[in-house]
Amino acid sequence: MTALNKVLVVDDHPLFRNALSTAVALAFPKTTSKEAASINEALQILDNATGFDIALVDLKIPGVSGFDGLVQLRTHHPRLPILIVSGVDDMQIVKEAISFGAAGYVPKTVGKEGLAVAIESVLQGDVYLPEQFREESVTAQYETENARDSLAERMNSLTPQQLRVLAMLREGLLNKQIAYELRVGNSTIKKHVSEILRKLKVNSRTQAVIEVSKVDQGLFATESEEFSPRV
């Protein structure tokens, strides 16, 4: 079994949070669990502590609507796998959750053994869906693969400097911070961001970050790479 050291449980219902933490502890005895009742509390925990292997997140949490909570977590912590544990079992919701970057989806009716299987699958790098959704997701998988290919083509249209700017957007940097790092004017960065959104066919910086999290990280400049003021 894959080692699980630290898990974050995000749900507004205290009894269900405790039940999830208990189920995780039974399946992975050496695991430490942290609990959050809101997305803001979850972000504070993640910002102040490291080493989380996975987050178990409910979709319906007060203070956020739709997939906003998932998007916020993915934007601020794009490398943290998020397993949605939800009372909603609609296939369209499942598909949208995966498209927004969830690493898996399980209904709240799943037993502790099913939850353990889902966590294990996600830790191994797979996208987990319960059996009742898998046949329905075959078509969705092809659609996702085609969309990923299309996104990769759009990514390839970005210039090296635009890729650097995009990498910094993923880190949460503001335009003025990016301008300082690249030693260019703020207006130049604004132009780059506009071009990035246009080329990726998205409407916001957040959508850009979510989209590019689905493709190869190797397309981005590494932190050790020397930034050039070329524009």
State the 10-residue block means of pLDDT for the chain, 231 residues long: 88 93 92 95 94 94 87 89 90 85 90 92 89 59 54 82 89 91 93 92 82 56 38 39
Residue 214: alpha-carbon gap to chain centroid: 9
Residue type, 189: I
Own/partner long-range contacts of 175-184 (Cβ < 8 Å, ≥24 apart): 181/227, 182/227, 182/228, 182/229, 183/227, 183/229, 184/229, 184/231
Domain 6-139 indexed as CATH 3.30.1390.20: no
pLDDT given at position 203: 82
| Domain range list for the chain | 6-139, 153-219
Which of 144, 115, 138, 119 has its CA nearest to residue 211?
144
pTM, whole model, 2 decimals?
A: 0.61
| Whether 144 contacts 52, CB under 8 Å | no
Return the CATH number of the domain spanning residue range 153-219. 1.10.10.10
